[in-house]
Amino acid sequence: MAGTRIPVWVVLSHLAPSEDIETILRNLPRLSREDILACLEYASYLATEKVVPV
């Protein structure tokens, strides 16, 4: 999403209530399908458990 100035959280907030990708692309035309998939990949990465050494 480089250069779009649309934060990841905005895209995720559209996906959360089951809004489909085509609708998001219509509502946020500067995004591509790849941008949306990258948001999901990033969210997945952030949601993984990280082990912090004690």
User: In tens digits, what is the pLDDT along the chain, a chain of 54 residues?
Assistant: 566 688 999 999 999 999 999 999 999 999 999 999 999 999 999 889 877 787
pLDDT at residue 1, as a whole number: 55
Q: Identify which of 35, 45, 47, 44 has the alpha carbon closest to the alpha carbon of residue 10.
A: 35
pLDDT at residue 2, as a whole number: 60
Cα torsion angle, 37, 35, 1, 15, sign = negative
pLDDT at residue 25, as a whole number: 96
Would you say 26 and 14 are in contact if contact means Cβ atoms under 8 Å apart? no
pLDDT at residue 53, as a whole number: 81
pLDDT at residue 42, as a whole number: 92
The Cβ of residue 35 has, within 10 Å, a number of other Cβ atoms equal to 18
**Identity of the residue numbered 34:** E
